[in-house]
């Protein structure tokens, strides 16, 4: 089978008849390797970024070959699209119609999912020609994706960035209802129907005394007894803030998150992030702001007079305030590393995930190191060496002390860093569920100084702000740019081009290290916010350094009676608004804003 790249179809407006070479205005023809004659090799599809339905992985042996039948005449360019994830070149002898033409080198590309072209000039006979590359060393061939006769596009758009869909798992989660939350309403009254939820609960955590805590974007911080049941209001953030509290525009506005200091039982301190608008936009000075700000995210420290009291009473102070030019991608999550112990460098430091404010599609602000937008910040709530004097900048932050750079920055290059967590009791790695723009919902392994590439990259693909309807292959030499790519991801699976909101957005989760569910041990469990799909992948297969992705498995869902259902069934809505929680024992919880319920994962099937 022959294939014209999507770019050629768009330019030439042509689709070839089945079985015929596909040609565009530039007379380039693409021949897929999976349809060639293969000597000592297999067709595989386990490395993202290939064209067609797969690529050829040859045996590690001298003499392994791939042979194409090429229709042409006269002098032309032959370009072999390949990936070489080793550190060594994999040379191959090129023969045309049985005559050796040259030796092609096929140097390392940096990863098995980074695809380059190895090109050579050759002369073809009129009609059919046999074009073969044969491994010249015991390493075999590089992975061969396709042969282009003529000049390859090389930078053409990718129709399906992640062709490998999540695998349907035989494993299912048993969900038992844990709590029902009271109905709440946004302020101002929303114009977007997606904000009309029963209760906009978005996280579950646990205090050392056993109480679970759950924030609602519409303003309340609830607590629950260990066994679940009826929520009690611990703090009404909306009432405390007053008339400037804002939760009625944008999917993340309102009381976004709560993080309790690891010594809360002794010092009574916890932290929240909420949104303000109305008169706050003119009266409250932001530490940083985008032009035309319509909402501000405020990080607040609260100190309880009695940490054991069922209802908060105490004081509060503002740590920082950031203004955003749109209602989307503001401050999402704040949290402490639960694996940090007293005396360790990370103990008591607060991580703050700041979105790009919707500006990444039109600017490079997520790459700007003098601004907080599109970054994860790491601050010391009790320090004073920040510009506003209300918090500290840890000396071991990756950019601390660099002129023209915010010392608060821990990692950068993000669009919507929605949820992050640490692998408790396991590797200690920090994983981020990152909501994409055009097509890629990604999980990143976050380390100090990482740059995830937005808005130059979306996942492991080039994002072109001038052509936002497609993603593009990584360029030659991309590894030298220093971007960090996802360890797991799925795409939107939409039709080519700009298709609007397809209802895909990642809900970051947790690596399971609890004791009640052995089948989940070591699995990172996460999902899709809108569809309510629940995924899992093995923490050990989520490897950094390149563009390889861990395989994803879609888990089944069972109700407490053991019947297979969907999260849409349990939520009573086609839009689930899925979130995850975890208690101190490492057990998992599943939340839905649609009906304001929480379920505990009580078993597997």
pLDDT tens digits, 358-400: 999 999 999 999 999 999 999 999 999 999 999 999 999 999 9
Please say whether the beta carbons of 459 and 542 come within 8 A: no
Question: In sequence order, what are the residues at sequence separation of 6 or more whose Cβ sits closer than 8 angstroms to the Cβ of residue 198?
Answer: 181, 183, 593, 594, 595, 596
Cis (ω within 30 of 0) for the bond into 188? Answer: yes
CA 232/CA 213 separation, integer angstroms: 9
* Alpha-helical regions (H) of 110-149: none
Strand order of the β-sheet with 430-435 is: 416-422, 430-435, 440-446, 488-491
For residue 59, what are its two tokens? 């045996």
CA 536/CA 531 separation, integer angstroms: 15
Question: In sequence order, what are the residues at sequence separation of 6 or more whose Cβ sits closer than 8 angstroms to the Cβ of residue 356?
Answer: 329, 365, 366, 373, 374, 414, 415, 416, 454, 455
Among the residue ranges 6-10, 488-492, 540-544, the one predicted with the least confidence is 6-10
Q: What is the pLDDT of residue 479?
A: 86
CA 434/CA 419 separation, integer angstroms: 7
- DSSP class of residue 63 equals T
Question: In sequence order, what are the residues at sequence separation of 6 or more whose Cβ sits closer than 8 angstroms to the Cβ of residue 387?
Answer: 287
CA 408/CA 375 separation, integer angstroms: 9
Q: What is the pLDDT of residue 119?
A: 80
**Total-model pTM:** 0.78
**SS3 category, 193:** helix
pLDDT at 110 over 90: no
**SS3 category, 360:** coil
CA 241/CA 94 separation, integer angstroms: 72
pLDDT at 26 over 80: no
Question: In sequence order, what are the residues at sequence separation of 6 or more whose Cβ sits closer than 8 angstroms to the Cβ of residue 174?
Answer: 558, 559, 560, 562, 601, 602, 603, 604, 605
Sign of CA dihedral 207, 596, 353, 188: negative
The domains of the chain are located at: 6-149, 167-448+513-604
pLDDT at 279 over 60: yes
Q: What superfamily does domain 167-448+513-604 belong to in CATH? A: TolB, C-terminal domain (2.120.10.30)
- DSSP class of residue 248 equals S
The candidate with the shortest Cα–Cα distance to 60, out of 85, 34, 97, 94, is 85
Q: What is the pLDDT of residue 151?
A: 55
pLDDT at 7 over 90: no
Report which of residues 270 and 150 the model is more confident about: 270
Burial readout 334-345 (b: 16 or more C-beta within 10 A, e: otherwise): bbbbebbeeeee
Q: pLDDT band at 64, cuts 50/70/90?
A: very high
Contacts by 382-390, CB closer than 8 A, 24 or more apart: 382/348, 386/320, 387/287, 388/287, 388/320, 390/317, 390/318, 390/319, 390/320
Cis (ω within 30 of 0) for the bond into 455? Answer: yes
- Looking at CATH, the fold of the domain delimited by 6-149 is given as Jelly Rolls (2.60.120)
- Mean pLDDT of the 514-532 span: 98
**SS3 category, 238:** helix
Spell out where 359-456 has E strands.
375-379, 409-412, 416-422, 430-435, 440-446
For residue 217, what are its two tokens? 């974007």
CA 192/CA 195 separation, integer angstroms: 6
- Tally of CB atoms within 10 A around 303: 16
**Domains 6-149 and 167-448+513-604 fall in the same CATH topology:** no
Question: In sequence order, what are the residues at sequence separation of 6 or more whose Cβ sits closer than 8 angstroms to the Cβ of residue 518?
Answer: none
Q: Phi then psi for 250, rounded to 5 degrees?
A: 80, 140
Give one DSSP letter per residue of 515-578, joined into a string: SS-GGGTTEEEEEETTT--EEEEEGGG---SSS-----EEEEEE-TTS-EE-HHHHHTSS---E
* CA atoms within 13 Å, Cβ hemisphere of 591: 23
User: What is the DSSP pairing of strand 288-289 with strand 314-324?
Assistant: parallel
**SS3 category, 195:** helix
Please say whether the beta carbons of 511 and 431 come within 8 A: yes
DSSP H or E segment with residue 212: strand 212-215
Q: pLDDT band at 587, cuts 50/70/90?
A: very high
pLDDT tens digits, 469-503: 888 888 877 888 999 999 999 999 988 778 778 89
pLDDT at 154 over 70: no
pLDDT at 297 over 60: yes
pLDDT tens digits, 186-225: 999 999 999 999 999 999 999 999 999 999 999 999 999 9
Give the residue carrying structure tokens 């048993």: 174
């Amino acid at each position: 089978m022959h294939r014209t790249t999507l770019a050629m179809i768009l330019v030439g407006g042509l689709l070839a008849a089945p079985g015929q070479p596909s040609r565009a205005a530039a007379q380039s023809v693409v021949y897929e390797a999976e349809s060639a004659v293969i000597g000592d090799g297999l067709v595989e599809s386990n490395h993202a970024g290939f064209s067609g339905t797969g690529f050829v992985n040859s045996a590690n042996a001298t003499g392994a070959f791939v042979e194409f039948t090429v229709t042409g005449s006269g002098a032309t360019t032959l370009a072999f699209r390949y990936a070489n994830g080793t550190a060594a070149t994999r040379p191959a002898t090129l023969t045309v119609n049985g005559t050796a033409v040259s030796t092609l080198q096929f140097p390392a590309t940096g990863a098995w999912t980074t695809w380059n072209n190895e090109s050579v000039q050759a002369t073809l006979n009129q009609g059919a020609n046999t074009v073969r590359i044969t491994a010249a060393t015991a390493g075999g061939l590089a992975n061969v994706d396709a042969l282009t006769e003529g000049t390859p596009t090389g930078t053409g758009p990718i129709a399906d960035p992640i062709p490998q869909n999540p695998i349907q798992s035989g494993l299912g989660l048993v969900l038992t209802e844990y709590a029902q939350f009271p109905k709440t309403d946004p302020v101002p009254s929303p114009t977007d129907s997606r904000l009309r939820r029963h209760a906009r609960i978005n996280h579950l955590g646990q205090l050392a005394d056993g109480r679970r805590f759950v924030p609602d974007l519409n303003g309340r911080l609830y607590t629950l007894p260990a066994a679940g049941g009826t929520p009690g209001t611990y703090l009404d953030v909306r009432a405390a803030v007053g008339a400037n509290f804002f939760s009625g525009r944008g999917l993340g506005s309102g009381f976004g998150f709560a993080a309790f200091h690891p010594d809360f039982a002794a010092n009574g301190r916890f932290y929240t992030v909420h949104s303000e608008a109305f008169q706050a936009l003119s009266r409250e000075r932001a530490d940083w702001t985008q032009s035309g700000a319509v909402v501000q995210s405020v990080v607040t420290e609260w100190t309880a007079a009695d940490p054991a009291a069922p209802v908060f009473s105490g004081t509060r102070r503002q740590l920082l305030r950031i203004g955003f030019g749109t209602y989307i991608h503001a401050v999402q999550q704040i949290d402490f590393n639960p694996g940090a112990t007293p005396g360790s460098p990370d103990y008591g430091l607060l991580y703050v995930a700041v979105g790009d404010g919707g500006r990444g599609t039109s600017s490079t602000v997520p790459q700007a190191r003098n601004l907080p937008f599109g970054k994860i910040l790491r601050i010391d709530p009790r320090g004073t060496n920040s510009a506003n004097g209300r918090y500290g900048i840890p000396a071991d932050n990756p950019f601390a002390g660099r002129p023209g750079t915010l010392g608060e920055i821990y990692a950068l290059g993000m669009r919507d860093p929605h949820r992050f967590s640490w692998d408790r009791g396991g590797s200690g790695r920090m994983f981020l569920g990152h909501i994409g723009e055009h097509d890629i919902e990604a999980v990143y392994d976050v380390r100090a100084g990482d740059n995830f590439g937005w808005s130059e990259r979306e996942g492991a693909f080039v994002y072109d702000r001038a052509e936002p309807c497609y993603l593009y292959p990584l360029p030659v030499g991309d590894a030298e740019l220093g971007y960090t790519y996802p360890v797991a991801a799925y795409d939107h699976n939409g039709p080519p081009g700009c298709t609007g909101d397809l209802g895909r957005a990642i809900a970051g989760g947790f690596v399971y290290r609890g004791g009640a569910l052995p089948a989940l041990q070591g699995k990172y469990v996460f999902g899709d916010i809108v569809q309510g799909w629940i995924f899992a992948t093995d923490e050990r297969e989520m490897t950094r350094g390149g563009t390889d992705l861990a395989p994803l498995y879609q888990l089944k869902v069972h109700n407490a009676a053991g019947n297979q259902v969907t999260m849409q069934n349990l939520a009573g809505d086609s839009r689930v608004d899925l979130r995850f929680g975890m208690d101190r024992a490492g057990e998992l919880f599943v939340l839905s804003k649609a009906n304001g319920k929480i379920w505990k994962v009580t078993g597997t099937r």
